[in-house]
């Protein structure tokens, strides 16, 4: 095994671990949201509201309920793992770009008086990236 192959393998493993850490954060936040008074979902993206800008970063980690989270978990793990293993050195740049562009798009174009949460935008961003980048 060459040094380049070994390095790529280690960075692929690190990126893959990152995918699982992101999903773990989603599950921890949903569990926390289920037991605290109040609702973390209010930190999602509220379109065209300055206070809703924080949601661009927060929304992918927040979900309406456990069914919503489960529906996002499997495709996030599958597509995120493919991105992580095929593009290990660029995984974080790809993921953060998808989160930023997708979140800003929702903030600009989403329906008024609605708070958007969930990782579906990231899932579809991973899919779009894989279909276009190869």
Asked if 84 and 13 touch (Cβ cutoff 8 Å), the reply is no
Query: What is the structure's pLDDT at 10?
Result: 82
pLDDT digits 0-9 by tens, 16-32: 999 999 999 999 999 99
State the Cα–Cα distance between residues 87 and 8, nearest whole angstrom. 9
For 39-98, write each residue's pLDDT tens digit.
999 999 999 999 999 999 999 999 999 999 999 999 999 999 999 999 999 999 999 999
Q: What is the arithmetic mean of pLDDT over 10-14?
A: 90
pLDDT of 130 > 80? The answer is yes
Asked whether residue 6 carries a pLDDT value surpassing 70, the answer given is no
**Residue 1: which pLDDT band, with cuts at 50, 70 and 90?**
low
Tokens of 44: 């999602």
How far apart are alpha carbons 57 and 63 in whole angstroms?
A: 13
The tokens describing 2, both together, are 């060459």
CB 85 within 8 A of CB 65: no
Query: Angle CA(122)–CA(124)–CA(125) in degrees, nearest 5?
Result: 60
pLDDT at 73: 99
Strands (E), the chain: 45-46, 115-116
Residue 134: the pLDDT is 74
The mean per-residue pLDDT over the stretch 111-121 comes to: 97
Other beta carbons less than 10 A from residue 86's beta carbon: 16
Q: Which two tokens stand for residue 57?
A: 């970063």
pLDDT at 34: 97
Phi, psi of 72 (to 5 degrees): -90, -25
SS3 116: strand
pLDDT of 132: 98
């Amino acid at each position: 095994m060459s040094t380049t192959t070994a390095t790529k393998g280690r960075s692929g493993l690190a990126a893959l671990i990152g995918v699982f850490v992101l999903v773990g954060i989603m599950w921890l936040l949903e569990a926390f949201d289920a037991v605290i008074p109040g609702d973390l979902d209010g930190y999602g993206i509220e379109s065209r509201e300055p206070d809703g800008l924080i949601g661009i970063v927060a929304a992918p980690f927040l979900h309406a309920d456990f069914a919503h989270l489960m529906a996002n978990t499997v495709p996030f793990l599958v597509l995120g793992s493919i991105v992580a293993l095929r593009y290990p050195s660029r995984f974080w740049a790809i993921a953060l770009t998808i989160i930023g562009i997708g979140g800003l798009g929702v903030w600009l174009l989403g329906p008024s008086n609605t708070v958007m949460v969930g990782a579906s935008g990231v899932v579809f961003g991973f899919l779009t990236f894989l279909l276009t980048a190869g």
